[in-house]
Amino acid sequence: MIAVIDYGVGNLFSIKSSFARIGADVVLTSEEKTIRNADRIMLPGVGAFRDAAAKLKETGLGELVRTELKKGKPVMGICLGMQLLFEKSYEYGEHEGLGILHGEVVPMRGYIDPRLKVPHIGWDSIHIEKPSRLLKYCKEGDYVYYVHSYFASKCQDSVIATSEYDKALTAAVEKDNVFGCQFHPEKSGEVGLNVLRAFCEMK
Amino acid sequence: MITKRIIPCLYTKGGRVVKSGNGEPLQGVPTPVALARKYSDGGADELVFCDSTALTEGRTTFTETLKEVARSVFIPLTVGGGIRRTADFEHVLACGADKVSVNTGALNNPSLVEEAAKKYGDQCVVVSVDVRRVQGEFRVFTDRGKTDTGLNAVEWIRRCVGNGAGEVMVNSLDTDGERKGFDIELLQAVCKAVKVPVVASGGAGSIEDFVRLFQEIPDIDGGLAASVFHFGEIDIGVLKERLSQNKIHVRK
């Protein structure tokens, strides 16, 4: 069973539907017991980093994810959920993340060509940086759907794919049993469903 | 780079696909769910659902249709029709919409766009505007093009974006239904005025119309159409192939 952590950040309808579509057993939950009993954990998230990080802290769910991760359970973050896995974010100030992955989350503005629109929103292609388990069903140039204004940086040890806006932006990460993608697999058609399939097969 | 988007629009009523202008059911067109699946499988980049009865008399039917579509199609969904309050945003988002488009609701309630953008994020708020020329000026119309609000369309769009709208859908009433191409002049004016994504609507009759749209306005983000897709006059796969041959970046 996959526990999708429901901590009041963003809409989980599509994530639930995507897992259902690929035949995965999924539950949306914030219950410690259910999360402990799950085989895999997904950390979703849409919205502001600071609020989401605060919620993970005050509910103890962040600590729980860390504990389960240490037991070897596969954990995957999506979009803001992925960003939260890093050490810190510079979204409106400086905020601490879960610190599970090395790296920080920084604004696109100031990094990319100022003429480009921010948020980076829409379909973009991925460039595979190195072989991974998460993207085992994906290929170079596959299109995925993005909605974000910040991206993970200084994460050379975990980045497995990037998308080129005018410079490379982190698309997906993997390190041991930690996985993440900046794009929305639940909105990326068949390519996205394949990313979720790969996660469901993680041992 | 982000690709240009091809967006089929489904006007629905009572769980059926209808004609945009008069709301008459379209004969020989599949159910909204079957059509949505067909488009998603065929390479559409996003789907727009518009139902004038979405939040009033048709609320239950529409909710069921939307949920069923959202359960079976894994591309972005934009939903519009009768959105008046932030609670309406809440409702359609909970049913699986990713973006919500407001038209009359934004005109009647000046704080709606700002409130919704603060609550759900700019990316979620799409302002849809019906525009017609009146004595050489682009004016905002409501009531399916019957009422002239007297507002200058470009000014209105600029104001909505200033209040947090993350995308603009521009429907030209002058070209809508004519099938002679998009309203390039209007769309150029809008693209010049705002820095958020702009989607063109009204006038698509052939593949060439899409090619021309993206060639003449490099800043435009997407092209929307309804009946040319519903009746199979334009196949999305063929359209994207042609766009690609013309060096227009699309998802294939």
Kindly list the domain boundaries of chain B, sorted by start residue: 5-245
Q: Which residues of A touch B75 (CB under 8 A)?
A: 145, 187-189
- With b for 16 or more beta-carbon neighbours within 10 A and e for fewer, the A141-161 pattern comes to ebbbbbbbebbbbebeebbbb
Residues, chain A: 203
pLDDT band (50, 70, 90) for residue B169? very high
Answering whether pTM is above 0.90, one says yes
Average pLDDT over residues A191-202: 97
Active site residue A32: no
Cβ-Cβ contacts under 8 Å between A and B: the total is: 75
Q: Which residues of A touch B96 (CB under 8 A)?
A: 11, 13-14, 17
Q: Is 90 exceeded by the pLDDT of residue B249? A: yes
Supply B238's token pair: 């063929």
Q: Give the whole-number percent of chain A exceeding pLDDT 90.
A: 89
The answer to whether the CB atoms of A117 and B195 lie below 8 A apart is yes
The answer to whether the CB atoms of B45 and A122 lie below 8 A apart is yes
Q: Phi, psi at residue A59, to the nearest 5°?
A: -90, -10
pLDDT band (50, 70, 90) for residue B58? confident
Distance from CA of B26 to the nearest CA of A (A): 27
Average pLDDT over residues A37-64: 93
Q: Is 80 exceeded by the pLDDT of residue B57? A: no
pLDDT band (50, 70, 90) for residue B186? very high
Q: Which residues of A touch B251 (CB under 8 A)?
A: 123, 125, 143
Distance from CA of A183 to the nearest CA of B (A): 12
Active site residue A174: no
Q: Phi, psi at residue B222, to the nearest 5°?
A: -155, 160
Per-residue DSSP letter, B242: H
**CA A84 to CA A45: how far, in whole Å?**
9
Active site residue A184: yes
Element (DSSP H or E) covering residue B229? helix B227-230
What is the per-residue pLDDT for B62? 85
Beta strands in A55-119 (DSSP E): 75-78, 86-89, 95-96, 101-107
Distance from CA of B161 to the nearest CA of A (A): 13
> Closest partner residue to A124 among B2, B40, B75, by Cβ?
B2
Partners of B47 in beta bridges: B77
The answer to whether the CB atoms of B123 and A11 lie below 8 A apart is no
Residues, chain B: 252
Q: Which residues of B touch A147 (CB under 8 A)?
A: 123
The 3-state DSSP class for residue B45 equals: coil
The answer to whether the CB atoms of B75 and A119 lie below 8 A apart is no
* Topology (CATH level 3) of domain B5-245: TIM Barrel (3.20.20)
- Nearest CA to B202 among B235, B224, B232, B222? B224
The answer to whether the CB atoms of A121 and B96 lie below 8 A apart is no
Average pLDDT over residues B173-186: 96
> Closest partner residue to A119 among B3, B95, B123, by Cβ?
B123
Q: Is 90 exceeded by the pLDDT of residue B61? A: no
Q: In what order do the strands lie in the sheet with A101-107?
A: A95-96, A86-89, A101-107, A150-153
Q: Which residues of A touch B95 (CB under 8 A)?
A: 13
pLDDT band (50, 70, 90) for residue A92? confident
Distance from CA of A178 to the nearest CA of B (A): 24
> Closest partner residue to A123 among B45, B70, B96, by Cβ?
B45
Which residues of A have a CB under 8 Å from any CB of B?
11, 13-14, 17-18, 20-21, 46-47, 117, 119-125, 143, 145-147, 164-166, 186-190, 192-193
> Closest partner residue to A186 among B1, B74, B167, by Cβ?
B74
Supply B14's token pair: 């009572």
**CA B176 to CA A21: how far, in whole Å?**
37
Supply A87's token pair: 């050490």
What is the per-residue pLDDT for B21? 73
**CA B46 to CA A32: how far, in whole Å?**
36
Q: Name the residue in chain A with its Cα closest to that of B42.
A: A189
Q: Phi, psi at residue B104, to the nearest 5°?
A: -60, -35
Domain A2-200 grouped into CATH 3.90.1170.50 = no
**CA A169 to CA B23: how far, in whole Å?**
44
Average pLDDT over residues B28-37: 93
What is the per-residue pLDDT for B132? 98
Q: Is 80 exceeded by the pLDDT of residue A9? A: no
Options A95, A155, A186, A200, the catalytic residue: A186
> Closest partner residue to A187 among B98, B121, B122, by Cβ?
B98
CB atoms within 10 A of CB A47: 16
| Contact status, residue B246 vs residue B51, Cβ threshold 8 Å | no
The answer to whether the CB atoms of A188 and B74 lie below 8 A apart is yes
